[in-house]
A and B are shown apart, each in its own frame.
Chain A
Amino acid sequence: MEFLKFFSRKQENSKEVAKERLKLVLVHDRSDLSPKLLDMMKGDIIRVISEYADIDKENMAIKVTKMKSEKDIAPVSALVANIPIIKIKDNKKSAI
């Protein structure tokens, strides 16, 4: 879709800037976890997963978002982690 932007006559509208900034700021506002706690949790998650696989620490993302629950009317918080795996380790504890 990038090429469509190229052909459109105008540069980015200020509305798009507002939306991007707003989305970013809301990610932080919405998380009940403090950034410090989230960092600690991230560190622990990395440590555990690293026992089993090499992961791409540069490109991983862990954040808290709100999503609509299907059963309940109250939205729920969800921890969303995107952790690219480079290689699964041959673990000394062989599977099963």
Chain B
Amino acid sequence: MDNEKLGTAIVITSGKGGVGKTTTSANIGTGLAMMGKSVVVLDADIGLRNLDVVMGLENRIVYDLVDVVEKNCRLKQGLIRDKRFEKLYLLPAAQTKDKSAVKPEQMLELVGELKKEFDYIIIDSPAGIEQGFQYSIAGADQALIVTTPEISAVRDADRVIGLLEAKGVYNPKLIINRIRPEMVKKGDMMNMEDISDILAIDLLGVVPDDEEIVISTNKGEPAVIEGKSLAGKAYMNITKRIMGEEIELLNLDSNNESTFNKIIKLLFGK
């Protein structure tokens, strides 16, 4: 055995589009880098590239995932270094190709190479369950399922959990995005227990619906960096749980806003 490091590849997937996979990938990847880990965030959404703009790295792209896979460039040339964290890299998707440009075996090989160099490989999967999903999960050791508290998103999440199992990716963890505590309180939105019970998988974290996400996406700066917003804090918690820390879930069912804020302050300081 050699003493190469062997990182962990985590695919972020959902089935349904628009639930926050890319935002989640950007925040978790950045969060891990903030904790001192070496990270590649890999945009697997060929043809609909977006992780670059969410990370604020769109102006630096020269090569992309397809160039790397087809060996038009070396792996190192395809990786774009983040402007804030030196151990954080982006491997952007190709924008002018389609999902047939990458095969699962190629992805498996690529992720295998990346795992020798980095602690974490975060794979931002495209929506859907076709080719793009199939190659996205090919090299993954773990899967995180992103859903929102809506019937359609939860249903698709359930389908994806089944497909992951069929491919040998077991024990996916759940991230519930865009929870609105006031609607949960009124009984007009499924809460985290409802959703994790129905899907029968472990909950990794809950991210509240937060305007700050829109603002941070506008700026190309993942919310976890500034870290003051609720969503930013939720993503940092998720990051730490991925690293094995035990951190309590945000109490979003709290009776009033001020108690809620107090708990946040207790948990995070400030």
A23 / chain B contacts, CB cutoff of 8 Å:
198
**Would A15 and B189 count as touching, CB distance under 8 A?**
yes
Provide the bound-state CA to CA distance between A25 and B194, in Å. 15
Report A55 CB to chain B, min CB distance, Å: 31
Q: Kindly identify, within residues 38 to 83 of chain B, every residue whose CB is under 8 Å from any CB belonging to chain A.
A: none
Say which residue of B159, B171, B187 sits within 8 Å of A15 (CB atoms).
Answer: B187
Instruction: Using A19-B190, A29-B155, A75-B165 as known contacts, list a sample of 15 further A-B pairs with CB atoms less than 8 Å apart, ordered by residue number in A.
Output: A10-B187, A13-B187, A13-B188, A15-B188, A15-B190, A15-B191, A18-B150, A19-B198, A21-B151, A22-B154, A22-B198, A26-B198, A29-B159, A30-B158, A74-B165
Q: Is A57 an interface residue (CB 8 A)?
A: no
Q: Is A14 an interface residue (CB 8 A)?
A: yes
Q: Which residues on the A side are within 8 Å of B187 (C-beta)?
A: 10, 13-16
- Asked if B190 and A74 make an inter-chain contact with CB atoms under 8 angstroms apart, the answer reads no
Nearest residue (CB) in B for A14 is B188
- CA A23 – CA B150 in complex, angstroms? 13
* CB of A73 within 8 Å of the partner chain: yes
Q: Which of B207-227 contact A (CB under 8 A)?
A: none
How many angstroms from the CA of A66 to the CA of B171 in the assembled complex? 14
* Interface band, chain B: 20 to 34
Bound complex: CA A17 to CA B187 (Å):
10
Main secondary structure of the interface of B (DSSP, over half): helix
Please name 6 pairs of A and B residues whose Cβ atoms are closer than 8 Å in the assembled complex, sorted by A.
A15-B187, A22-B154, A22-B155, A26-B158, A29-B155, A73-B171
| Cα A62 to Cα B186 with chains together (Å) | 36
B162 in contact (CB, < 8 A): yes
A21→B190 CA distance, assembly (Å): 12
> When the two chains form their complex, are residues A73 and B188 in contact, meaning their CB atoms are under 8 A apart?
no
- Please indicate the chain B residues that have their CB under 8 angstroms from the CB of A14 in the complex: 187-188
User: How far apart are the CA atoms of A15 and B185 in the complex, in Å?
Assistant: 10
Judge whether B170 is part of the interface by a CB distance below 8 angstroms.
yes
Smallest CB separation, B204 vs chain A (Å)? 17
Interface of chain A, main secondary structure: helix
Q: How far is the CB of A24 from chain B (nearest CB, A)?
A: 11
User: Which residue on chain B has the smallest CB distance to residue A12?
Assistant: B187
> Is B200 positioned at the interface, with any CB of A under 8 Å from its CB?
yes
Chain B residues closer than 8 Å to A26, beta-carbon distance:
155, 158, 198
Residues in chain B near residue A25, CB distance under 8 A:
151, 155
Contact B186 A13, beta carbon cutoff 8 Å: yes
Give Cα A32–Cα B150 distance, bound, in whole angstroms.
Answer: 24
C-alpha gap A93/B194 in the complex (Å): 50
- Give complex CA distance A66, B200 in Å: 10
For window 121-168 of chain B, which residues contact chain A by CB distance below 8 Å?
A: 150-151, 154-155, 158-159, 162, 165
Whether B170 pairs with A73 at a CB distance below 8 angstroms is yes
Contacts A13-B187, A13-B188, A26-B198 given; indicate if A18 touches B158 (C-beta within 8 A).
Answer: no
- Once the chains are docked, how many angstroms separate the CA of A10 from the CA of B1? 65
* A29 with B158: CB separation less than 8 A: yes
Chain A residues, CB < 8 A from B170? 73-74
Closest to B162 in A: A30
Which residues of B, 171-187, contact A by the 8 Å Cβ criterion? 171, 184, 186-187
Determine the distance from Cα of A75 to Cα of B201 in the docked complex, in whole angstroms. 11
Alpha-carbon distance between A26 and B189 when the two chains are bound, in angstroms: 18
Q: Given A22-B155, A26-B158, check contact A68 B194 (CB 8 Å).
A: no
> Which residue on B lies nearest to A22, using beta carbons?
B151
* A-chain residues with CB within 8 Å of residue B165 when the two chains form the complex: 74-75
